Amino acid sequence: MGNREVKFSLVFRDMWQSAGKYVPRVDQLIKVAPAIIRMGCFDRVETNGGGFEQVNLLFGENPNNAVRQWTKPFHEVGIQTHMLDRALNGLRMSPVPADVRRLFYKVKKAQGTDIARTFCGLNDIRNIAPSIQYAKDAGMISQCSMCITHSPIHTVEYYVNMAKQLIDLGADEICLKDMAGIGRPETLGKICAGIKAYKEDIVIQYHSHAGPGFNMASILEVCKNGCDYIDTAVAPLSWGTGHADILAVQAMLKDAGFKVKEINMAAYMEVRTQIQEMMDDFLGFYCNPLNRINNSLLIAPGLPGGMMGSLMADLETNLESLNKWKNKHGQPELSEDDLLVKLFDEVAYIWPKVGYPCLVTPFSQYVKNLALMNVIQMEKGKERWSMIADDIWDMILGKAGRLPGEVAPEIKKLAEQQGRIFSDTDPQTNYPDELDKYKKLMMEKGWDLGQDDEELFEYAMHPSQYEAYKSGKAKDDFIADLEKRRNETNQPTKDSVPQPETITVTVNGQSFKVDIAYGEVPAESTTDNVNSPIAQSGEGEEILAPLEGKFYLTKNTQETPKKVGDKVSVGDTLGYIEAMKTYNAIRAEFDGVITAIIATPGDSIEEDDVIMKIAK
């Protein structure tokens, strides 16, 4: 060991995403940056990536502006910035075309991001390899991640062999991404030693969540075996489903004989105070208290810290919906703890059956969503596997990459019954280029492509969120939700009372929900006939929402929305409910003609709400 230096990274983005739904506004980020720099102990800061840009869009802020301003102060003092990149999925939950992926790295480098931390939740090298080249072509450092989990398949040899392949493909650095904190210390030490034995000078960074309780021991083991950088956090967003606090990590490694930078405690306290102020301002309304504590129940399901932030919010919504159903059917309600334990048990049960995907975005959400749907359906007396979203099927079928393990016979049989085909082709070939299409759409709408094509990139990466941002709907929705949460805790809102987004009008005794848009309105919103009240009346059998969420007629611009008068056949997709970051298809159960579309795209709807009428 000697006096070998270990350096620290502050995973500021992930600190927030492991605690709740949102990240700070750009003004808050700019304010805290000087104090982070004055702490004097960080060589790297994770500034963006993953869900960062989506959540900016959700509360109506331009993420391109945020990244440029947020990375600037760190560059000026020589601190490297890094971002999280989901390989085939880019910054979102679903696969991204190659031309959008290529532009992604050029944009992020131009905005000030130095290092691309690329991971694939299936550890499929085919998904990671293009990102290495794209990052290097853009002048970024390519840090390739291995998603750490614990299963009969994920052995020391498995990970060392994966690291060798990534290094041979040109990866500049390797990250051990222990996203659920369930990597065992001894195993992680052996993996680290095996990588260094293959290439002694390869830089290794260890990323671990505190949740289950292993990570301080794991940090010490990887450092003893050659790790160069450790990801850390700052209170009050350290520990729990987040990361180990820099104070404890620095003190432990210093005592073990490593050379580590000293911490300016006055600056540490300033950062800590500012984080608390951000939480008091609005972010705390989206941080579930259970995410602030360690929980060894997480060892069995292996759910990642980054997902636990949104999980508790999802659970709250689904529990409310399920208990409404139970009340309606004279059954006793479930508590949040009841549902949480049932969910954890179901995740542990189904994980091997769907081929042991690493439980990291998006596959952690897929497995969790599938488990939660199973639990809810079984609570209602229905069959397990009776509701599987298309994105989850894509994972099971191999369209998103090769699963580490075998899919269970019962799921293979279900796929066969539904006419679904398993695939082992390069996943990227399933997703053709789209930039020209988005460029054309932006030209038609009169939208600027942005500096370094950054607005084009944002639209192509997050189409529906970007349109909601441009129209002003995202900000209105956010302010309304925040005001509701503040009112529930009797806190006054700092924002003005938002104007209504929808009103209900009654015509000839029939009620219609009508959208009111403010600011810039996407062109198609003003012309799409499904938003017209005329489309909301008609006779026929009611099609009910199978779950709570947001209703959409399409999930991307490649699909043509259904309209009144369209003929549909059994199995046709009628629309989608977006719930828990997944688009759940609503399919026709009989042949007929659409006579009415009741729900407006983008509306929040409850389970059993009428969304359409179809005449047989």
What is the tens place of the pLDDT at every residue in 351-396?
Answer: 999 999 988 878 888 888 899 889 988 998 888 998 888 889 999 9
Number of domains in the chain: 2
Backbone angles phi, psi at 585, to 5 degrees: -70, 140
pLDDT of residue 589: 86
What six digits make up the tokens of 342?
């049932």
Work out the pLDDT band at 439, boundaries 50, 70, 90: very high
Contact 121, 362 (CB under 8 A): yes
Backbone angles phi, psi at 529, to 5 degrees: -65, -15
Establish if 228 belongs to a structural domain. yes
pLDDT of 83-110, one tens digit each? 999 999 999 888 999 999 999 999 999 9
Establish if 430 belongs to a structural domain. no
Contact 583, 389 (CB under 8 A): yes
pLDDT of residue 537: 61
Pairing of strands 549-552, 604-605: antiparallel
The CATH number that applies at residue 588 is 2.40.50.100
Domain boundary among 262, 288, 314: 288
pLDDT of 317-355, one tens digit each? 788 888 888 888 899 999 888 888 888 899 889 999 999
Work out the pLDDT band at 141, boundaries 50, 70, 90: very high
Q: For residue 200, what are the contacts with CB-CB under 8 A and spacing of at least 6?
A: none
The CATH number that applies at residue 276 is 3.20.20.70
Task: Tell whether the torsion through CA atoms of 299, 301, 307 and 312 is positive or negative.
Answer: negative
Find, among 600, 598, 616, 595, the residue nearest to 544 by Cα: 598
Please, is 265 exposed, middle or buried when counting C-beta atoms within 10 Å of its C-beta (0-12, 13-18, 19+)?
Answer: exposed
pLDDT of 10-35, one tens digit each? 999 999 988 888 889 999 999 999 99
Q: For residue 572, what are the contacts with CB-CB under 8 A and spacing of at least 6?
A: 587, 588
> Higher-confidence residue: 511 or 412?
412
Establish if 573 belongs to a structural domain. yes
pLDDT of residue 593: 93
Establish if 99 belongs to a structural domain. yes
Which range marks the domain in which residue 535 is found? 528-615
Establish if 353 belongs to a structural domain. no
Establish if 481 belongs to a structural domain. no
Residue 485 has pLDDT above 60, yes or no: yes
Establish if 409 belongs to a structural domain. no
- 6 vs 3: CA distance, rounded Å: 9
pLDDT of 285-311, one tens digit each? 988 887 778 888 778 777 776 666 567
Residue 212 has pLDDT above 60, yes or no: yes
Q: For residue 291, what are the contacts with CB-CB under 8 A and spacing of at least 6?
A: 18, 19, 20, 240, 241, 242, 308, 309, 312
- 400 vs 166: CA distance, rounded Å: 19
| One-letter identity of residue 389 | A
Residue listed under structure tokens 């853009």: 138
Domain boundary among 266, 288, 310: 288
Q: What percent of the chain has pLDDT over 70?
A: 89
Give the mean model confidence (pLDDT) for residues 65-80.
96
Work out the pLDDT band at 422, boundaries 50, 70, 90: very high
Average pLDDT, the chain: 87
Query: DSSP assignment of 60-128, as one string?
Result: T--HHHHHHHHHHHHHHTT-EEEEEE-GGGTTSSS---HHHHHHHHHHHHHHT--EEEE--TT--HHHH
pLDDT of residue 491: 56
Domain boundary among 263, 288, 313: 288
Residue 609 has pLDDT above 60, yes or no: yes
Query: DSSP assignment of 213-227, as one string?
Result: S-HHHHHHHHHHTT-
Work out the pLDDT band at 52, boundaries 50, 70, 90: low
Residue 275 has pLDDT above 60, yes or no: yes
pLDDT of residue 529: 36
- 464 vs 376: CA distance, rounded Å: 28
Establish if 247 belongs to a structural domain. yes
Give the mean model confidence (pLDDT) for residues 207-232.
97
pLDDT of residue 306: 60
Work out the pLDDT band at 555, boundaries 50, 70, 90: confident
